[in-house]
Amino acid sequence: MKRLVLLRHGKSDWDAPFDQDRERPLAGRGRRSAKLMGRFLAAAGWTPDRVLTSPALRARATVELAAESGGWSCPVELEEVLYSGEPEDIAERLRTVPNSTETLLLAGHQPVWSQLLAVLVGGGAYRLPTASVAALTFDADTWQDLEPGTGELRFIVPPKLFKHVPLGE
């Protein structure tokens, strides 16, 4: 079985100085949410053994903060397709992941994340607020065996779910 986590980047700071969209940083709320979701993934047993992230600063920072706060470490690769690609392009990229990877985390952006989720599970409409995670499983022995529509959605968790139930600091 292969496991996939989709992590949407944390809330970004539109008031910060930046020249290009991909340089937009996280806001304070985005940093806090990224840390919270890193701890959630660790507590839930969904820590990745490989990460592919959009090269955008806000996505990279979300991954770094989540990993540090959750106490997990794994290879992280920057993937342009996660910034500018279509859901079908990303689904195709999944098929090239090394088979030694059991749990893969992708960090990226809306609206593509909701669209990708629908492609992977075979339909539906999904809302993924900033810093939310969606977890899927695939009844496949290799990433090459993944087909659109074969994913089973295990959960979608937004950070505000923990507003009154903190996962430690």
Domain around 122: 2-162
Determine, yes or no, domain membership for 168: no
Q: Which residues pair with 47 in a beta bridge?
A: none
Domain of 124: which CATH number? Answer: 3.40.50.1240
Instruction: Give the CA radius of gyration of the chain.
Output: 15
User: How large is the average pLDDT for residues 91-106?
Assistant: 97
Interval 14-45: pLDDT, tens: 787 778 888 889 999 999 999 999 999 999 99
Determine, yes or no, domain membership for 126: yes
Q: How far apart are CA 87 and CA 110, in angstroms?
A: 11
Cα dihedral: 133, 135, 83, 57 (round 10): 40
Q: How far apart are CA 47 and CA 72, in angstroms?
A: 7
Q: How many CB atoms lie within 10 A of CB 22?
A: 16
Determine, yes or no, domain membership for 169: no
User: How large is the average pLDDT for residues 35-59?
Assistant: 97
pLDDT value of residue 169: 55
Q: What percent of the chain has pLDDT over 90?
A: 86
Helix (H, G, I), strand (E, B) or coil at 123: coil
Interval 117-159: pLDDT, tens: 999 999 999 999 999 999 999 999 999 999 999 999 999 999 9
Number of domains, the chain:
1
Determine, yes or no, domain membership for 131: yes
Task: Say yes or no to pLDDT of 92 above 80.
Answer: yes
Determine, yes or no, domain membership for 52: yes
pLDDT value of residue 17: 79
Q: How far apart are CA 68 and CA 90, in angstroms?
A: 26
pLDDT value of residue 168: 57
Determine, yes or no, domain membership for 167: no
